[in-house]
C-alpha cells in the first residue's frame, strides 16, 4: 500500500443527483473556489491515491477539492461512455455552482478522466448523439469552466498494444494476442449483426474469461461497444470515441478535438488548459515521443493564435512520475504535481 494513503479524510458528502454523490475535502479555512476531480477507469470516490496529498496542498489556498462518483465509476466503466460521463459531470458542476455561487470551478481528470475533460470541452454542447443502448439519457447543457487540467492523458489503444507486444502479469504476448483477437472478432460480429442494426438497445458483454486473459481486471464487465471504443481497431484513420490521445492520430483528428476547445467556448475568457504528462508512465509505450506529442496537442489547441490557451509554464512532463503517482518512490514527482496544480489554480482566481 502506498504511504500516501491516509487513514481518513474529513469532508462533506453531497448528493448532486438522487443517486450520485460528490465528496468535498474540507479545510480549516473557507475555500470559495472548487477543483472537481474525476478519476480513470476503475476509479471511484477518492480512490486515486494522490488526492490526499493534493487536498493537503490546497488547504492553504482558496480552492476546495471535490471528487465524484458517476454511473461509470468502479467496475461499471465497461458499460459507460463519455457522453454520459460528461453529462453527469455537468450536473455536478451545476450543483457546485449553486452551492458556491461566487466561486470559480476547474475540472481535473486523471487518465480516462482526461478523456472526459477533452470530451467535455470539445464536443457539441449539449451532446447531439442519441444512444439506443442508453435511451433514458437526457443530455444537459454543459456550463463553461474557469480552467481544465488533464493528468496522465494516455491512449488505451496504445496501452493494449504495449501489453500485446510485451506481455502482462505473467501472460505471454502470444496468449494476450490470441485473447485480444478473440475479443475483437466477437465485438465486430456483435456490431455488424442484423439484430444490432435493427435494435442496438442493449449492450453485448464479452466473456470474462477472455477479458481476464487480455489483462483486464477480474470480474469487470466490458461490453463489445466499449471495447471497440477503447481499442479503436480502425485507428488512426477512423478513431472511435475513446481514442483521443494516441500518438499516431493525424493532425486533422487533433483539430477536431483539441482544436475545438477554443471555438467551443467551454473555457471562459483567459482560462487555460493544463496538461501534465507522466514521464515514467507505465502505460505509455517507449516508442511514444512524449515531448513531440505534447507539442502537437499544443499546436492544435492554440491554432497558432496570438493568445495561447495552453499553459506552458505549469504544464508538460513530470519527470519520473508514474501513471497515478501511487508507488512509494513517487514523493518527488507527487510534490511536483501538487506544486504545478496549485500554481495553475492561483493564476485562475
pLDDT in 10s for each residue of the chain, 349 residues: 344 445 678 999 999 999 999 999 999 889 999 999 999 999 999 999 899 999 999 999 999 999 999 999 999 999 999 999 999 999 999 999 999 999 999 999 999 999 999 999 999 999 999 998 998 999 999 999 999 999 999 999 999 999 999 999 889 999 999 999 999 999 999 998 877 666 678 899 999 999 999 999 999 999 999 999 999 999 999 999 999 999 999 999 999 999 999 999 999 988 999 999 999 999 999 999 999 999 999 999 998 677 899 999 999 999 999 999 998 899 999 999 999 999 999 998 8
Q: Tens of pLDDT along 216-257? A: 999 999 999 999 999 999 999 999 999 999 999 999 999 999
Is 140 within the bounds of a domain?
yes
Phi, psi of 68 (to 5 degrees): -135, 160
Phi, psi of 34 (to 5 degrees): -135, 130
Domain boundary among 231, 263, 289: 231
Domain tally for the chain?
A: 2
What region does 210 belong to: left with phi over 0, alpha with psi -120 to 50, or beta? alpha
Q: Which residue has the cell 514523493?
A: 331
- Please list, in sequence order, all residues whose beta carbon lies within 8 angstroms of the beta carbon of residue 66, skipping any fewer than 6 positions away: 22, 23, 24, 25, 34, 35, 36, 37, 92, 96
Judge if 68 and 109 occupy the same domain: yes
Residues in the chain: 349
Contact predicate 9/44, CB 8 Å = no
Judge if 173 and 291 occupy the same domain: no
Is 237 within the bounds of a domain?
no
Judge if 54 and 146 occupy the same domain: yes
Whole-number pLDDT of residue 194: 79
Is 236 within the bounds of a domain?
no
Judge if 257 and 184 occupy the same domain: no
Judge if 151 and 196 occupy the same domain: no
Is 240 within the bounds of a domain?
no
Judge if 25 and 141 occupy the same domain: yes
Is 307 within the bounds of a domain?
yes
Is 242 within the bounds of a domain?
no
Residue 212 structural domain: 158-231
Is 241 within the bounds of a domain?
no
Whole-number pLDDT of residue 196: 62
Is 101 within the bounds of a domain?
yes
Judge if 163 and 299 occupy the same domain: no
Judge if 115 and 149 occupy the same domain: yes
Supply the CATH number for residue 59's domain.
3.40.50.1820
Judge if 221 and 328 occupy the same domain: no
Judge if 259 and 112 occupy the same domain: yes
Cell of 102: 461566487
Judge if 210 and 284 occupy the same domain: no
Domain boundary among 231, 259, 294: 231
Whole-number pLDDT of residue 2: 44
Whole-number pLDDT of residue 1: 38
CA-based torsion, 332, 5, 211, 172: positive or negative = positive
Whole-number pLDDT of residue 64: 98
Whole-number pLDDT of residue 68: 98
pTM for the full predicted model: 0.96
CA dist., res. 167 & res. 173, Å (int): 4
Whole-number pLDDT of residue 12: 96
- Please list, in sequence order, all residues whose beta carbon lies within 8 angstroms of the beta carbon of residue 46, skipping any fewer than 6 positions away: 9, 23, 52, 67
Domain boundary among 169, 196, 231: 231
Judge if 306 and 171 occupy the same domain: no
CA dist., res. 320 & res. 331, Å (int): 10
Amino acid at each position: 500500500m502506498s504511504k500516501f494513503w491516509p487513514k481518513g479524510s474529513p469532508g462533506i458528502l453531497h448528493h448532486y443527483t438522487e443517486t450520485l454523490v460528490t465528496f468535498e475535502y474540507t479545510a480549516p479555512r473557507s475555500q470559495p473556489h472548487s477543483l472537481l476531480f474525476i478519476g480513470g477507469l476503475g476509479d471511484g470516490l477518492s480512490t486515486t491515491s494522490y488526492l490526499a496529498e493534493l487536498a493537503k496542498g490546497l488547504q492553504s489556498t482558496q480552492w476546495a477539492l471535490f471528487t465524484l462518483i458517476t454511473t461509470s465509476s468502479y467496475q461499471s466503466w465497461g458499460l459507460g461512455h463519455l457522453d454520459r460521463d460528461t453529462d453527469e459531470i455537468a450536473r455536478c458542476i451545476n450543483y457546485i455552482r449553486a452551492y458556491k455561487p461566487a466561486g470559480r470551478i476547474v475540472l481535473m481528470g486523471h487518465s480516462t478522466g482526461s478523456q472526459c475533460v477533452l470530451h467535455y470541452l470539445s464536443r457539441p454542447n449539449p451532446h447531439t448523439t442519441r444512444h439506443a443502448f442508453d435511451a433514458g439519457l437526457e443530455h444537459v447543457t454543459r456550463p463553461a469552466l474557469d480552467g481544465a487540467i488533464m493528468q496522465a492523458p494516455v491512449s488505451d489503444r496504445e496501452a493494449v498494444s504495449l501489453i500485446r507486444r510485451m506481455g502482462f502479469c505473467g501472460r505471454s504476448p502470444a496468449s494476450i494476442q490470441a485473447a485480444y483477437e478473440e475479443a475483437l472478432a466477437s465485438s465486430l460480429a456483435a456490431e455488424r449483426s442484423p439484430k444490432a442494426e435493427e435494435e442496438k438497445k442493449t449492450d453485448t458483454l464479452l466473456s470474462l474469461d477472455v477479458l481476464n486473459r487480455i489483462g483486464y481486471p477480474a470480474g469487470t464487465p466490458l461490453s463489445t461497444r466499449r471495447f471497440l471504443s477503447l481499442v479503436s481497431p480502425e485507428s488512426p484513420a477512423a478513431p472511435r470515441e475513446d481514442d483521443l490521445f494516441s500518438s499516431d492520430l493525424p493532425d486533422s483528428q487533433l483539430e477536431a478535438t483539441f482544436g475545438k476547445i477554443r471555438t467551443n467556448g467551454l473555457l471562459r475568457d483567459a482560462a487555460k488548459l493544463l496538461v501534465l504528462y507522466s514521464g515514467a508512465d507505465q502505460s505509455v509505450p517507449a516508442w511514444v515521443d512524449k515531448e513531440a506529442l505534447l507539442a502537437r496537442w499544443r499546436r492544435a489547441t492554440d491554432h497558432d493564435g496570438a493568445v495561447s490557451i495552453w499553459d506552458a509554464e505549469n504544464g508538460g512532463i513530470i519527470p519520473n512520475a508514474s501513471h497515478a503517482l501511487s508507488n512509494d518512490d513517487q514523493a518527488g514527482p507527487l510534490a511536483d504535481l501538487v506544486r504545478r496544480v496549485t500554481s495553475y489554480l492561483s493564476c485562475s482566481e
